[in-house]
Structure 1
Amino acid sequence: MEYRLLGRSGCAVSAYALGTMTFGSETDEATSFAQLDAFVERGGTLLDCADVYGAGAAETIVGRWLARRPADVVDRMVIVTKGRFPATPVLGAEGSSRRHLRRALDASLRRLGRDHVDMFMVHSWDPLTPLEETLAFLDDAVRSGLVVYPGLSNYLGWQVQKAVDVARARGLAAPVALQPSYSLLVREAEWEILPAAADSGLGLLCWSPLGGGWLTGKYRRDERPVGATRLGEDPSRGLEAYDRRAADPQTWDVLDVVDKVATDRGATPAQVSLAWVAQRPGVSSVLLGARTLEQLLENLAAATMILSDDEMERLTAVSAPRAAPWPYGEDGAEQRMRRLPGR
């Protein structure tokens, strides 16, 4: 496993991180423990959580795992969690206000069984809360020892730049990392988001590097998915909905090149796709999310893969970004939107 600095901080993290979104929902506790053990055995150190994963169940599972592991293992872990969205359906239990983020952080710490987390990320921009209020809370959390580093997730380019500028101008703890959606199928972040992060020295923790499963090679033209896969169970699921992606000819062009590179390398399409993200500029860590231990082990094999310049160029050329629903289209706008009931 390669290790990299987390942005301009001095914190070293594994180049591949374990995402816990499936824990407690699609992945039971025993399998989650097995994934965590396998990740550590292969040199992984960064664990990515959020209060909304499994409505808190993911953090609880991670907390139980940490409590049962030796101190030297626990000390190696870099624990990241996030707050902003409602973990429970209670009025007012969302947003990036000081009130909500404090409650979210306290609840996350209880579930994780920790007195602090290494990074607390604001899970998305909140148009209703003054940015100064959010940043002041993060600064207080750092100064009080509850948080080591602040971070941002799903911010647009101007939002990243404004957050960093305001924090630095006011002498507040500035974000050191950004968590964007980034893959061979979602590269629009390169237009403004990634340049803003690079300009401010933020490390990238890339989520959905397999495009919601599309870059694993399991989907085919004119063959709607069936069976025990994300889209097999729900073809209209989320940003990766089958009809939306399948209707774009570029999707299949990208998959063809990924498959060819994988075949030539004796690797899987998932490993090639992950290696491409890991070798992009500014990437501190690539988030791996898996429902099964077997999926995780296959993906972790990408940690030893280095794509050649020719392979990188071919993959980069065929996946050149165009306007798409995320992050500037309707789905991105929907995630950034927040309204009070009745408004």
Structure 2
Amino acid sequence: MDYRRLGLSGLKVPVLSFGAGTFGGSGPLFGAWGSTDEKEARRLLDICLEAGVTLFDTADVYSNGASEEVLGAAIKGRRSEVLISTKTALPMGDGPGDYGTSRERLIRSVEAALRRLGTDHIDLLQLHAFDAGTPIEEVLSTLDGLVRAGKVRYLGVSNFSGWQIMKSLAIADRHGWTRYVANQAYYSLIGRDYEWELMPLGLDQGVGALVWSPLGWGRLTGKLQRGQALPAGSRLHQTADFGPPVDDERLFRVIDALNEVAGETGKSVPQIAINWLTSRPTVSSVIIGARNEDQLRQNLGAIGWSLTPEQRQKLDAASSVEAAYPYFPYRRQEGFARLNPPAV
């Protein structure tokens, strides 16, 4: 297992981490992902640790806290062997204090997460979404206090825009508060918007990416093929509307390229899609999920080998998409590109 620094922090994280969204799954979204119970979670944890996967990611909103509870039970007795990442901000109820990142909500959410996880500290706390209703100074001063109290070790964000991250970093620097070192972001061969603004920001500011949904909400599992109907057992029947839309022609262009590389390497389509991500700038760790042991072992096979430059170029070309303004001139026009060379 390759271990990388998380942004400019001193924290070393494995290039593959495990997403516990399937733990205790319930509801239309998380129930479709999986419903791993405590016994199954322990077995998956065993396999992860044997392979060197030490970072486990969850969130309070995953099955209304059940994911944290199952993960907490699975790590009991071996807390020192693992890193725990969790997230908060999204609604956990309908009350006025049940969502957001106010001081009151953050402190209460962290205390609740610690109880569910059965631990005295969270290794990485990430804000699940930007809260436009709470001053950034209030958010950051509260988070800094949680770090100083030893309840949280490192801080990150998820689903933030570039300006929201940059403004937060500037305010943290001004006051000497703890900085964000992680950005948990959607990034895949069929979702490369991360490269337009968030990747250059990560390079400039030392914010490492934790990639979620590396298989494009299940579209790059190898089950979808050009000219064929969606398989009856695909979770896309339940989850397609939750993810960003993907143009069919571009999707199948990427799948065709993945199939070609699979034929050349003997690796599976998802293994190739994940491996491609591990070589991208700013990527500290790719979060993989699994509903069972076989699926986990398949995903773990995404590392320990390399794509050739020609294979990477083939995947890059198939997945390329025109950047939105104001980014596209820097991609297409030589004069603009000379001033701002692309990150990839």
Structure 1 length as normaliser, TM-score?
A: 0.88
- Counterpart-to-counterpart distance in 1, 2:314 and 2:143: 41
CA RMSD of aligned residues (A): 1.6
Corresponding residue number in structure 1 for 2:175 = 170
> How far is 1:323 from its partner?
6.1
**AA aligned opposite 1:127:** A
Corresponding residue number in structure 2 for 1:35 = 44
Distance change >3 Å, CA 291–CA 135, structure 1 → 2 = same
Matched residue of 1:162: which SS? helix
Contact 2:220 2:270 in 1 (8 A): yes
Contact 1:155 1:193 in 2 (8 A): no
Distance change >3 Å, CA 237–CA 35, structure 1 → 2 = farther
Matched residue of 2:4: which SS? strand
Q: Residue deviations 1:151-177, cap 9 Å, x none?
A: 111111111111111101111001111
- Counterpart-to-counterpart distance in 2, 1:321 and 1:49: 31
Map residues 14-33 of structure 1 onto 2, 5 A cutoff. 14-25=14-25, 26-29=34-37, 30-33=39-42
Corresponding residue number in structure 1 for 2:242 = 238
- Counterpart-to-counterpart distance in 1, 2:74 and 2:40: 11
> How far is 1:236 from its partner?
4.2
Greater mean deviation of Cα atoms: 4-13 or 30-39: 30-39
**AA aligned opposite 2:145:** D
- Counterpart-to-counterpart distance in 1, 2:94 and 2:288: 28
Matched residue of 1:271: which SS? helix
Corresponding residue number in structure 1 for 2:320 = 320
Contact 1:158 1:196 in 2 (8 A): no
Contact 1:156 1:193 in 2 (8 A): yes
**AA aligned opposite 1:225:** L
Matched residue of 2:225: which SS? coil
Corresponding residue number in structure 2 for 1:255 = 255
> How far is 1:3 from its partner?
0.7
Distance change >3 Å, CA 10–CA 278, structure 1 → 2 = same
Corresponding residue number in structure 2 for 1:53 = 62
Q: Residue deviations 1:25-69, cap 9 Å, x none?
A: 1222132222111111111111111101111011001111111x4
- Counterpart-to-counterpart distance in 1, 2:94 and 2:50: 37
- Counterpart-to-counterpart distance in 2, 1:191 and 1:163: 19
Matched residue of 1:216: which SS? coil
Greater mean deviation of Cα atoms: 305-314 or 13-22: 305-314
Contact 2:187 2:213 in 1 (8 A): yes
> How far is 1:182 from its partner?
0.4
- Counterpart-to-counterpart distance in 2, 1:90 and 1:269: 44
- Counterpart-to-counterpart distance in 2, 1:84 and 1:235: 22
**AA aligned opposite 2:303:** A
Map residues 110-129 of structure 1 onto 2, 5 A cutoff. 110-129=115-134
Corresponding residue number in structure 2 for 1:272 = 272
**AA aligned opposite 1:56:** G
- Counterpart-to-counterpart distance in 2, 1:216 and 1:316: 18
- Counterpart-to-counterpart distance in 1, 2:70 and 2:21: 11
Corresponding residue number in structure 2 for 1:297 = 297
- Counterpart-to-counterpart distance in 2, 1:155 and 1:206: 13
Residue number among 80, 92, 100 corresponding to 1:95 in the alignment: 100
Corresponding residue number in structure 2 for 1:340 = none
- Counterpart-to-counterpart distance in 2, 1:158 and 1:78: 29
- Counterpart-to-counterpart distance in 1, 2:239 and 2:228: 11
Matched residue of 2:256: which SS? helix
Give yes or no for the alignment of 1:140 onto 2:139. Answer: no
In structure 1, list runs of 5 or more residues that go unmatched: 325-343
Contact 2:57 2:84 in 1 (8 A): yes
Matched residue of 1:212: which SS? coil
Contact 2:258 2:315 in 1 (8 A): yes
Corresponding residue number in structure 1 for 2:13 = 13
Segments of 4+ moved more than 6 angstroms: none
Contact 2:199 2:281 in 1 (8 A): no
- Counterpart-to-counterpart distance in 2, 1:163 and 1:235: 32
**AA aligned opposite 1:63:** G
In structure 2, list runs of 5 or more residues that go unmatched: 26-33, 325-344
Corresponding residue number in structure 2 for 1:63 = 72
Distance change >3 Å, CA 302–CA 147, structure 1 → 2 = same
Structure 2 length as normaliser, TM-score?
A: 0.88
